Chain A
Amino acid sequence: AQKVTQAQTEISVVEKEDVTLDCVYETRDTTYYLFWYKQPPSGELVFLIRRNSFDEQNEISGRYSWNFQKSTSSFNFTITASQVVDSAVYFCALSEAGSYGKLTFGQGTILTVHP
């Protein structure tokens, strides 16, 4: 069975601080995919990134960066110089090969960025 754990239920930071959201996963599959989604107050989940299990390169997109480490089964997400608009619930998710859309989600981390 697959499992995703986001141990941080809530994080509160002040604008311009860096913040890292942790994600640890469990799967027996050798090929799998990891995702991060953002859920702003409007409620609509927004895709941020997909990573496959064979690609451990870190990725940076603007103020966002992701660190994938198979050795520790982690896929952490860092926001640099956080902004109030980053306030949202962030979900880490896992899917097996060939089933991109059938996701196992973590419980989510509520991020609040204060001005």
Chain B
Amino acid sequence: GAGVSQSPSNKVTEKGKDVELRCDPISGHTALYWYRQSLGQGLEFLIYFQGNSAPDKSGLPSDRFSAERTGGSVSTLTIQRTQQEDSAVYLCASSLIAPQNTGELFFGEGSRLTVL
């Protein structure tokens, strides 16, 4: 498709299990971002990949969270030993990089994670 694709759209897991969330950005977009949207914390930046540069991981809330981007395209966000407070919608976005970047992020529809 033409937009940012995320899977799964919904994931229910038990506390303590690991989960993987996938993001397929728009073709040609070399910048990729993960955000988290929860009732208590709103929209929070998690991690940012830009081209071949080292990712900006400054928003990851704990070492249980990690992300990788293979081949400069698809990205996977992994949450280990999930906790109930990890329940949220995880949003992925992609964009062009400067100077073509107008600041417009293209978001996917998100992966809703529920930790029981």
Across the interface, do B107 and A45 meet the contact criterion of CB distance under 8 Å?
A: yes
Select from chain B the residue with minimum beta-carbon distance to A44.
Answer: B109
Tell me the bound Cα distance from A91 to B101 in angstroms.
20
With contacts A100-B103, A101-B33 taken as known, whether A45 is within 8 angstroms of B93 at the C-beta atoms is yes
Give 15 A-B contacts (CB < 8 Å), ordered by A residue: A35-B103, A45-B93, A46-B107, A47-B103, A47-B104, A47-B106, A50-B103, A50-B104, A99-B56, A101-B33, A101-B93, A101-B103, A102-B56, A104-B45, A105-B44
Choose from A42, A43, A47 the contact partner of B105 (Cβ within 8 Å): A47
- Chain B interface size band reads 20 to 34
Chain A interface helix/strand/loop/mixed:
loop
Chain A, interface size category, equals: 20 to 34
Main SS of chain B's interface residues? Answer: strand
Contacts of A35 in B (CB 8 A): 103
Q: Does B42 contact A (CB under 8 A)?
A: yes
| Contact A43 to B89, CB < 8 A, known contacts A50-B102, A91-B43, A103-B45 | yes
Provide the bound-state CA to CA distance between A37 and B59, in Å: 20
**Nearest residue in A to B102 (C-beta to C-beta)?**
A50
Residues of B within 8 A of A98 (CB): 98
Within the complex, the shortest CB–CB distance from A106 to chain B, in Å, comes to 8
Contacts A44-B108, A45-B91; A102 near B45 (Cβ below 8 A): yes
CB distance from B4 to the nearest CB of A (A): 8
Q: Using an 8 Å CB-CB cutoff, how does the interface string of A33-65 with B read, 1 for contact, 0 for none? A: 101010000111111001000000000000000
Given contacts A45-B91, A45-B93, contact A101 B105 (CB under 8 A): yes
B95 near A101: Cβ-Cβ < 8 Å: yes
